[in-house]
Amino acid sequence: RSGGERAGAAKVKPSRLTALQEQLIWALLESGLSRDILVQAIGELERDRVSAGAERGERGDGESSEEGEMDFPPPIFRELEKLLPEEAAKLRAEVDQLLQEDPWHVAKIVKSYMQQHNLPQREVVESTGLNQSHLSQHLNKGTPMKNTKRASLYTWYVKKQGEISQQFTNAKHGLGSAEEQGEETRKGRRNRFKWGPASLQILFHAYERQKNPSKEEREGLVEDCNRAECHQRGVSSSQLAGLGSNLVTEVRVYNWFANRRKEEAFRHKLALDTPYTSQSASSSHPNLPPSPEHGVKYSHQIMCDTVSSARGSIGDRVGHLVVSPIQLEPSHTLLETHNSKLVSSGGPLPPVSTLTSLHSLSASPASSQGLIMASLPSVMSLGESSLLIGLASTQPQTVPVINNVGGSFTTLQPISFQQQLHGSPQQPISHHFQSYMGASPFMATMAQLPCHMYNKLDSPQYHTSSLLSQAMVITDSSSLGTLTSLTAVKQILTADPEEQTDSPLQEDSLHLQPHTPVPASESLEMYPTSQTTESHQSHLLSPSQTDISSYIPTQMVSTAQ
Amino acid sequence: MAGKIQSLTEEERNHLLPLLRNAQWVEVVGRDAIYKEFIFKDFNQAFGFMSRVALQAEKMDHHPEWFNVYNKVQITLSTHDCGGLSQRDITLATFIDQASLM
């Protein structure tokens, strides 16, 4: 009975207070402390105590919520103890409820919440001790997770909801305590800023209008983006504190534009490196000599040669074939339409975040004229939502891309496109670029394709030696029926294009009957376009496939001519 | 701290000390101070009392000399700055009495 228990102990009494605790509480209350101030003060004091403890080197067992160590009980539960018993009990009750539900259902809820607030998985991993890969798989694919681990996840989730809603409410009263609730006191550093899809849409639209906005314009964009992000999170605009580390600032907008400009310059530069030959006389596009590999350094050892040929352009739509050994950075998507005034103004450095920039299919300037270059392996890997149509071969083979745009028979290099050509911008997962991309006529054409090849491109996939020479076929729906041979492109190209329906096919080429809208191929698989964008997964092929034939686009189209 | 605290005047002593004596405060021999002993039901009560007094003392910036063993609390009040009793001691004594009744 002597001395031991004092108010402010880290231990939480589940039910009654001891007599002394009661005494002390009463003493505090009688001393003029109001209940609310007392409650608040307890929270603050406990936080201070914890961080003070950490500084004294108690890190091993102290701030375990930051440690990412999985000890029993999971670190996140220690945070519970810091809360008031009343609130801790409420939290536990909510967590228990979630544990009763279907895990996959809850996973979807948690995942969409994270997307809505642009929360990095890293934060979850650090405060729950869960394995990141496991967490990702559980949230994205429903990979099973044991109940104890789910409990830590849900605990983090419930807590985070509280934190964020508090951040938003505090925003109303000015920042004040929001600071403490942020990650500052926990980690000493905030989460890394991440652009949300809504903001990116706004930025890309602005970029289209003007690549170099003035400070006023940037500030306008800051407001627009923050407003959009608040809406996405279901809060009224200007409760900015709730955005936390994902608050858009003028500096961030400035950097974004700078990076996009650099990216574009880099694309120009790479485009120049790409050898290009064209048989088309009608094209105003200059012929670039095929060139050996340039000294551009890529992390892939993937080369593709493309056979270039072009039909005479009919009408105003001409595509060109490009032949070149190309090695491109895997994370950089090169897809550009160059006019004859191709200018390389690229700086020496590659763009900062090629991963995030969905290159512009800037085919808008020219109605599909010009050089369309694409890097095979380098489809933009935009996390899970990248739509890649790419082919790669490990040998320097001809990898023709047969493009039947506008009825003319052309071959293009493999192209990577962003996904969701049809998707609605409102989808949380939807690619920010999609509306941006939709501007180009070429893309518009693409958008009509009933069938796409989707590939979640990770570089390793392209190393597979099972890649054969393939052709990507891109057509528009108006010219269905073309029979094209993938591997026999060379033959086709050299032959009169009009004979292509009869051109001999090699075994692994796609064999189509004329006028058959849907090819039946032994070597190809059809992947019906998944129009839904509820989950990025529906767009993606299994990334683990190494059989390249599954990556072969399936749409074969006859030349209209 | 505001200026030097004043010791109780003769007049004030004559007025106040009888009241304190009634409340079982006694004058300490050999110094200008008052003393009282409180006994509680148990330690918890005693320490609760002490907590209340402590909070008040802090508020007043005037602290008692005290001793505690289990349920017993012995308190001596005096003002160091003036070397004897001051108004603060009287005020605190009054508060202490109230607190001991809670």
What integer pLDDT is reported at residue A31 of this predicted model?
85
* pLDDT tens digits for range A236-274: 877 788 888 899 999 999 999 999 999 999 999 888 877
**At CA A369, angle to CA A367 and CA A371, rounded to 5?**
140
- Considering only the beta carbons, identify the residue of B44, B45, B55 that sits closest to A31: B55
pLDDT at A411 > cutoff 60:
no
Residue A181, Cβ density class (10 Å: 0-12 exposed, 13-18 middle, ≥19 buried): buried
Whole-model pTM over 0.90? no
Residue A257: both structure tokens together:
């534009």
Q: Which of B42, B51, B59 sits opposite A24 (nearest CB)?
A: B51
Cα–Cα nearest to A394, from A327, A307, A490, A484: A327
Handedness of CA A28, A29, A32, A38 (dihedral sign): positive
Average pLDDT over residues A276-285: 48
- Using alpha carbons, select from B68, B47, B46, B62 the residue that is nearest to residue B95: B62
Please give, rounded to a whole number of angstroms, the shortest distance from the CA of A5 to a CA of chain B: 10
> Mean pLDDT score of chain A, rounded to an integer?
63
Q: Is A527 left (phi over 0), alpha (psi -120 to 50) or beta?
A: beta
Q: Which residue of B42, B48, B56 is in closest CB contact with A26?
A: B48
Split at pLDDT 50, 70, 90, the class of A419 is very low
**Residue A517 and residue A481 in contact, taking contact as beta carbons nearer than 8 Å:** yes
**pLDDT (mean) for A202-210:** 93
pLDDT at B2: 55
pLDDT of residue B32 exceeding 80: yes
Q: Does residue A471 carry a pLDDT above 80?
A: no
- Two tokens, residue A90: 């409420």
Distance from CA of B50 to the nearest CA of A (A): 9
Q: Residue A524: is its pLDDT beyond 80?
A: no
The predicted pLDDT at position A299 comes to 43
With contact defined as beta carbons under 8 Å apart, do B78 and B25 qualify? Answer: no
Calculate how close chain A gets to B14, using CA atoms only, in Å.
31
First to last CA, chain B: 30
Find chain A residues with C-beta within 8 A of B51's C-beta: 23-24, 27-28
Contacts of A214 (CB under 8 A, 6+ apart): none
CB contacts of B42 in chain A (<8 Å) are: 19
Q: What is the pLDDT of residue A509?
A: 45
Task: Please tell me which residue of chain B has the smallest CA distance to A20.
Answer: B44
How would residue B9 be classed by pLDDT, with cut points 50, 70 and 90?
very high
pLDDT at residue A166, as a whole number: 78
| ipTM of predicted assembly, 2 dp | 0.76
Select from A17, A18, A30, A38 the residue whose CB has the most chain B CBs within 10 Å, as the one to mutate to test that interface. Answer: A30
Q: How far apart are the first and last CA of chain A?
A: 98
> Inter-chain contact B52–A2, Cβ cutoff 8 Å?
no
Q: What b/e sequence results for A490-507 when a residue is b if at least 16 CB atoms lie within 10 Å of its CB, and e otherwise?
A: bbbbeeebeebbebebee
**A517 Cβ neighbours under 8 A, 6+ residues apart:** A480, A481
Overall average pLDDT of the A188-207 stretch: 89
What are the tens digits of pLDDT across the range A26-74? 888 888 888 888 888 888 888 888 877 676 655 544 444 444 445 555 5
Q: Do A20 and B48 touch (CB under 8 A)?
A: yes
Whether residue A141 is predicted with pLDDT greater than 80 in this model: the reply is: yes
What mean pLDDT is reported for chain B? 93
| pLDDT surpasses 60 at A455 | no
- B→A interface, C-beta within 8 Å: 42-45, 47-49, 51-52, 55-56, 59, 102
pLDDT at position B80 over 80: yes
Quick check: A385 pLDDT over 50? no
Q: How many CB atoms lie within 10 A of CB A300?
A: 20
| Cβ <8 Å between A20 and B43 | yes
Q: Which pLDDT does position A80 carry in this prediction?
A: 57
The Cα–Cα gap between A8 and A2 comes to 17
Element (H, E) at A371: strand A371-374
Q: Is pLDDT of A25 > 70?
A: yes
pLDDT at residue A420 above 50? no
B34 has pLDDT over 90: yes
Q: Which two tokens stand for residue A472?
A: 């990507």
The confidence score (pLDDT) of residue A454 equals 45
Q: What is the pLDDT of residues A179-196, one digit of tens each?
A: 555 444 555 567 889 999
Quote the CA–CA distance of A480 and A383 in Å, as a whole number.
32
Chain-chain contact of A31 with B48 (C-beta, under 8 angstroms): no
Question: pLDDT: is A378 or B83 the higher one?
Answer: B83
Higher pLDDT, A85 or A93: A93
Beta bridge partners of B74: B37, B67
Contact: A18, B42; criterion CB under 8 Å: no
Cβ–Cβ under 8 Å, residues A270 and A332:
yes
Whether B13 shows a pLDDT value over 70: the answer reads yes
Using the 8-state DSSP alphabet, how is residue A551 labeled?
G
Mean pLDDT over A81-108 rounds to 83
Instruction: Round to whole Å and give the CA distance between A239 and A167.
Output: 8
Residues of chain A with C-beta less than 8 angstroms from the C-beta of B102: 26, 30
Distance from B80 to chain A by nearest Cα, in Å?
Answer: 25
Which of A1, A27, A32 is opposite residue B48, by nearest beta carbon?
Answer: A27
Q: So what's the pLDDT on residue A74?
A: 57
Rounded Cα gap, residues B17 and B22, in angstroms: 8
Phi, psi dihedrals of residue A549, rounded to the nearest 5°: -60, -25
Closest chain A residue by Cα to residue B53: A27
User: Is residue A430 scored above 90 in pLDDT?
Assistant: no
Nearest to A327 by CA among A418, A388, A394, A402: A394
Q: Among A158-167, A340-349, B76-85, whose mean pLDDT is lowest?
A: A340-349
pLDDT of residue B65: 96
Tokens 């009919």 belong to which residue?
A314
Q: What's the CA gap between A413 and A309, in Å, rounded?
A: 11
Please give the average per-residue pLDDT across A92-102, as a whole number: 89
User: pLDDT digits over A326-356, tens only?
Assistant: 444 444 444 444 444 444 444 456 656 555 5
Which residue reads 């998707």 in tokens? A423
Structure tokens belonging to residue A329: 């950075």
Q: What is the pLDDT of residue A189?
A: 67
Percent of chain A with pLDDT over 90: 19
pLDDT for the residue B77: 97
Interchain pair A20, B59: CB under 8 A: no
pLDDT of residue A98: 92
Helix A147-172 and helix A85-100, axial crossing angle in degrees, nearest 10:
130
